[in-house]
Amino acid sequence: MRKLAVVAFGGNALLQGGQIGTIDEQEQNAFETCEKLVTLVKEKDYNLVITHGNGPQVGNLMLNNIAGYKLYGLPEMPLDICVAYSQGFIGYVIEQQLKNVLLKNDLDRDIITIVTQVLVNKDDKAFQNPTKPIGPYYSKEEADKISAETGAVFAEDPRGRGWRKVVASPKPLVINNKKSIEKIAREGTIVVAVGGGGIPVFYAEENKLQGIDAVIDKDLASALLAAQINADKFFILTDVPKVCLHFNTPQEKALDRLSIADAKTYLEEGHFAEGSMAPKIRAAIYFVEHSGKDAIITKTTKLGIDDGGTRIVMI
């Protein structure tokens, strides 16, 4: 039987820094990402579940909301609905471009997107401390102006790319339809699920689910899914080839292998920035602790290479 891998696409898999987000740009980026991903299907013979971020896209959808309300009086949609919108259109883009790559490589696999709800706790402390960046980058002056007009909270990007709106990011508790996701994937269909970390929902009362204004961390939700469906490998794709200590300094040191004990120590010492590498490290730790298997953090171009990326292991 084929092994099962969960691959978490970073936001740059569809929309890269400096781009304005046209569908042509996003389709091209998705195609290039899927060209690297196909190595896991063609050479490593994995069954796949693909998850993805939606930070830039969901932020842009919210801007469309504001513009539509101001110009035409259209009702603004809450954040959970924007996450659902983004799941649908990003899933479509990934499905289409991955299919194009599979056809190019004479591979025959079905691909299906599952719009995924994820249960959170409405009393999660994250709602009092928004940290999850969404939407485009702004200058400090632009961010201050928008904040004054709308009450939005902004934080500076740890890599100096500007300021981004931040929203609550509660802990994911339950992935809806995880049994179906695993069954379909193990049968050979490539599944796109938990887009943008999943649509955040909670129980407003017994047996009544309701959306809530938040964005769940994509990597942590992906790690939860990977552990719950007994994935053999968990890949977290980002825009750097390996995890580094003292990132972007003269003392920068790339790590080939990282035990969860060392990973926790480096997190506590502040080596990994919030809104950047820290959530990825936490997600990798979660998967390794709950599955006993390895997680790999790497760049898309390093997928399937034996020494590519940073391998996070139990010991």
What digits encode the pLDDT tens for the residues 238-286? 888 999 999 989 999 999 999 999 999 999 999 998 878 999 999 999 9
**pLDDT of 307 strictly over 70:** no
pTM, 2 dp: 0.91
For residues 143 and 309, what is the distance between their CA atoms, to the nearest angstrom?
A: 35
Could you give the residue ranges of the DSSP H alpha helices within 43-165? 55-72, 79-104, 140-150
Of the chain, the end-to-end C-alpha distance in Å amounts to: 28
3-state secondary structure of 203: strand
What is the mean pLDDT of the segment spanning 30-49? Answer: 92
**Whose structure tokens read 């060209």?**
35
Every domain of the chain and the residues it spans: 132-167
Residue 127, H or E segment: none
Q: For residue 59, which phi and psi values (nearest 5 degrees)?
A: -65, -40
Question: Tens digits of per-residue pLDDT, 48-78?
Answer: 999 999 988 888 898 898 889 889 999 989 9
Over residues 144-197, the pLDDT tens digits come to 998 998 888 999 988 788 999 899 999 999 999 999 999 999 999 999 999 999
pLDDT of 305 higher than 80: no
- pLDDT number for residue 27: 95
CA distances from 297 to 122, 138, 208, 277, 301 (A): 30, 28, 37, 10, 12
Q: How does pLDDT run across 200-247, given as a tens digit for each residue? A: 999 999 999 999 999 999 999 999 999 999 999 999 998 889 999 999
Question: What does the H/E/C string look like for 146-185?
Answer: HHHHHCCEEEECCCCCCEEEEECCCCCCEECCHHHHHHHH
Instruction: Identify each DSSP E strand in 189-294 by its residue range.
Output: 190-192, 199-205, 208-211, 233-238, 244-245, 253-254, 257-259
- 237/217 Cα distance (integer angstroms): 14
Helix (H, G, I), strand (E, B) or coil at 210: strand
15 and 57 Cβ atoms separated by less than 8 Å? yes
Predicted local confidence at residue 193, as pLDDT: 98
User: 231 φ, ψ to 5°?
Assistant: -65, 145
- Give catalytic residues, as residue numbers: 11-12, 132, 218, 280
Please give the torsion angle defined by the CA atoms of residues 160, 161, 165 and 171, in that order, rounded to the nearest 10 degrees.
-70
pLDDT surpasses 70 at 306:
no
Residues 6+ apart with CB under 8 A from 180: 114
What's the mean pLDDT when you consider all of the chain? 93
pLDDT tens by residue, 91-148: 999 999 999 999 999 999 999 999 999 999 999 999 999 988 887 889 999 999 989 9
Cα–Cα distance for residue pair 134/86, rounded to 1 Å: 12
Cα–chain-centroid distance for residue 33? Answer: 14
Q: Is the pLDDT of residue 308 over 90?
A: no
